[in-house]
Amino acid sequence: MGTEIERKFLVCGEGWRQGATSVVCRQGYLLSAVECTVRVRVIGEQGFLAIKGRTVGISGALPW
């Protein structure tokens, strides 16, 4: 199984809330197997299909 790279940042203060908006986001998985994952997302009036296959050799630390 591959390693997913994810970065998180801590937001200080409450100032960011002023410009924030929200939308309803629904998601579900049609297939989740070793070979691939198929996900469907509906955000507002748009739908998105993500197909992720097996990845080899792309994990690692970022230079910053």
pTM as predicted: 0.54
pLDDT averaged over every residue in the chain: 82
Q: Which domain holds residue 42?
A: 21-53
Residue 41 pLDDT > 60: yes
Residue 11, in any domain of the structure:
no
Check if the beta carbon of residue 49 is closer than 8 Å to that of residue 39.
yes
Residue 30, in any domain of the structure:
yes
Give the count of domains, the chain. Answer: 1
Structure tokens at 57: 């050799």
22 is catalytic: no
**Segment 29-47 mean pLDDT:** 90
Residue 10, in any domain of the structure:
no
Q: What is the DSSP letter of 58?
A: -
- Of 29, 30, 36, 52, the active-site residue reads 29
Q: Is the pLDDT higher at 15 or at 2?
A: 15
Residue 48, in any domain of the structure:
yes
Residue 60, in any domain of the structure:
no
To the nearest whole percent, how much of the chain has pLDDT over 70? Answer: 78
Residue 61 pLDDT > 60: no
To the nearest whole percent, how much of the chain has pLDDT over 90? Answer: 38
User: What are the φ and ψ backbone dihedral angles of 63, each rounded to 5 degrees?
Assistant: -75, -10
